[in-house]
Structure 1
Amino acid sequence: MANLTASDSLQTGVTYLSVYSQIYSRSEHRTHDLTATVSLRNISSEDAIFVTRAQFFDTAGKLIRTYFDQPIFISPLETVEIVIQEVDNEGGTGGNFIFEWAVNPGTPEPFFEAVMISTSGQQGISFTTQGIKIR
């Protein structure tokens, strides 16, 4: 956890990341469940970054859960991961995260990415999504 104060001269931002708990298979009436690994990456080799909120929403935009009650810091080049298990399909086909974060001036913004995967027998599927800064 990190203790941030109003007097800190941090630059803040908000990033959106799409995360698929399910995808459609063969038709809109059949879905396939996925495991999602959400990576919160500090791409700076010198400064820590801070994630002040991580919220997960379902396809309808309803808040499913908040992952951090307090700000966390991520050390230089460190990655923090959130794993959404294959049996947890609450996010549905259009789930997403909203991340609020803060960095020191001149520090690269955090990088948010998700990897979705599932295997069945000898067949597997995997793909990635990347976050986009919205504020």
Structure 2
Amino acid sequence: MPMSRYAPAATLCLALLLCLGVPAWAQSARGGVIYAPLYQEAVIDHRGRSLDLAATVYVRNLSQKHPITIEAVTLVDGKGGVGPQCIKQAQTLTPLATLRLLSPRCPKGSGEPSLLVRWSARQPVQPPLVEVLMMGTAGQQGISVSSQGVPLEPEP
């Protein structure tokens, strides 16, 4: 049987997929921790003037069939110090539901903070999507920045 002219390209694509593996966000799990960076200020000119940013956190259940539980949303300052919890108790998200939170601020001089979102599910599901939208305005000038969380691998 003659070899297709596409066989070398298909073989290369398959080899790349096997080497790269499946992205962490596409794997199913029953729980984990997601890290999301925050920015509390943005430098807006060459003199170093900064603009304060307010952060809104969105945690989205990507499962179309199963609920997930957001167990904790913890603020961590830029030096690794654990800050306050952003939710008072665990919150259950129905399929495709979104939890919206306003992030508390870290004290000035403590570095740029981040969030740790701890979640669980009864069945294996895709980890939730954590997005942070940061916005600030001064006069007629405004800035918006966004970031996405990444699942952390369990540490031994």
Q: Residue 122 in 1 paired to residue 140 in 2?
A: yes
Aligned residues: 124
Percentage identity across paired residues of the two chains:
27
Higher RCO (CA-CA < 8 Å; seq separation 6+): 1
Q: Residue 56 in 1 paired to residue 85 in 2?
A: no
**Root-mean-square deviation (Å):** 2.3
Q: Please identify which structure carries the higher helix content.
A: 2
Structure 2 residue aligned with 1:100? 118
State the secondary structure of the residue aligned to 1:105.
Answer: strand
Structure 2 unaligned spans of 5+: 1-28
Q: How far apart are residue 42 of structure 1 and its match?
A: 0.8
Following superposition of structure 1 onto structure 2, how do residues 2-41 of structure 1 map, counting pairs within 5 Å? 11-26=30-45, 30-41=49-60
User: Once superposed, which parts of structure 1, at least 4 consecutive aligned residues long, lie more than 4 Å away?
Assistant: none
Using the TM superposition, name which of 123-132 and 64-73 deviates more. 64-73
CA contact (8 A) 1:48 1:73 kept: yes
Q: How far apart are residue 37 of structure 1 and its match?
A: 0.5
Q: How far apart are residue 114 of structure 1 and its match?
A: 0.1
TM-score normalised by L of structure 1: 0.78
CA contact (8 A) 1:21 1:93 kept: no
Structure 1 unaligned spans of 5+: 1-9
Q: Please identify which structure carries the higher strand content.
A: 1
TM-score normalised by L of structure 2: 0.69
